């Protein structure tokens, strides 16, 4: 089974690209979905996060207040590292379980949608790496316009990730998403047609 790593900076449109692959029949392992699962109410990681970032990140229902956690966890590199130290080992364990399940089903290739693929050095474990590339200024604009973030928060989140150049250096293929969304599907279709990960 080939593992195709799909990554891009926050606000790059990576999830949209992932969905285009799914529409063409590719199985998807979404690190963001797994990340939400490992901090769901009752999960051990949630209490660890509360211990580090304050119990007020927990809603009365026991659910995580994601916005408050994000404000604190992306305040500086040290805080971000603490967040990652709590969540990443659990995310990796769950991800491995899903990879194993697809291998048992004899799937030819799976898309692994992972925002921090290169940041965490996981790109080297992939059979192929696709980077969705968008200029940082455009990503900030999209985060403000489409996700409703304050501009300062959007800038902080973009800055917390590795520079675009390092991400691009790890790419086997690049999907340019600086233009209109209509430009994405032809690029994905071409990649699927070429299937370089099978070469």
Q: What is the pLDDT of residue 160?
A: 83
Kind and range of the H or E run holding 88: helix 77-104
Q: Are 170 and 131 in contact (CB under 8 A)?
A: yes
As annotated, the binding site includes 11-16
Q: What is the pLDDT of residue 40?
A: 94
Question: Do the domain assignments include residue 185?
Answer: yes
Q: What is the pLDDT of residue 116?
A: 86
If asked whether residues 183 and 133 sit together in one domain, one would say yes
If asked whether residues 181 and 147 sit together in one domain, one would say yes
Domain that holds residue 67: 40-96
As annotated, the binding site for ATP includes 11-16
Alpha carbons 134 and 176: distance in angstroms, whole number: 7
**Last-in-domain residue among 73, 96, 119:** 96
Domain tally, the chain = 2
If asked whether residues 122 and 180 sit together in one domain, one would say yes
If asked whether residues 64 and 91 sit together in one domain, one would say yes
Measured in degrees and rounded to the nearest 5, phi and psi for residue 95 equal: -60, -45
If asked whether residues 158 and 111 sit together in one domain, one would say yes
Question: Do the domain assignments include residue 199?
Answer: no
If asked whether residues 77 and 170 sit together in one domain, one would say no
To the nearest 10°, report the CA torsion of 21, 196, 171, 135. Answer: -50
Tokens of 168: 């691009």
If asked whether residues 139 and 70 sit together in one domain, one would say no
Question: Do the domain assignments include residue 167?
Answer: yes
Per-residue tens of pLDDT for the chain, all 199 residues: 999 999 999 989 999 999 999 999 999 999 989 999 999 999 999 999 999 999 999 999 999 999 999 999 988 889 999 998 999 899 889 999 999 999 999 999 999 999 889 988 999 999 999 999 999 999 999 999 999 999 998 998 898 888 999 999 999 999 999 987 788 999 999 999 999 898 7
pTM: 0.82
Question: Do the domain assignments include residue 51?
Answer: yes
**Domain containing residue 137: CATH number:** 3.40.50.300
Residue 59 is classified by DSSP as -
Where do we find the tokens 């692994």? 112
Tokens of 57: 């990140």
For residue 176, the cross-strand partners are 133
Question: Do the domain assignments include residue 35?
Answer: no
Question: Do the domain assignments include residue 69?
Answer: yes
């Amino acid at each position: 089974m080939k593992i195709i790593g799909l990554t891009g900076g926050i606000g790059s449109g990576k999830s949209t690209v992932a969905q285009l692959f799914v529409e063409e029949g590719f199985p998807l392992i979404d690190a963001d979905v797994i990340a939400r699962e490992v901090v769901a109410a009752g999960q051990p990681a949630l209490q660890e996060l509360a211990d580090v970032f304050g119990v007020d990140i927990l809603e009365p229902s026991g659910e995580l207040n994601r916005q408050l956690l994000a404000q604190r966890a992306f305040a500086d590199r040290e805080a971000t590292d603490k967040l990652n130290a709590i969540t990443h080992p659990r995310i990796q364990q769950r991800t491995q379980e899903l990879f194993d399940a697809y291998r048992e089903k004899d799937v030819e290739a799976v898309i692994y949608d992972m925002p921090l693929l290169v940041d965490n050095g996981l790109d080297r474990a992939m059979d192929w790496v696709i980077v969705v590339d968008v200029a940082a200024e455009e990503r900030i604009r999209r985060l403000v316009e489409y996700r409703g973030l304050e501009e300062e928060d959007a800038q902080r989140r973009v800055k917390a990730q590795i520079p675009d150049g390092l991400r691009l250096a790890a790419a086997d293929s690049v999907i340019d998403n600086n233009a209109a969304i209509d430009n994405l599907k032809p690029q994905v279709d071409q990649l699927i047609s070429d299937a370089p990960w099978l070469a």
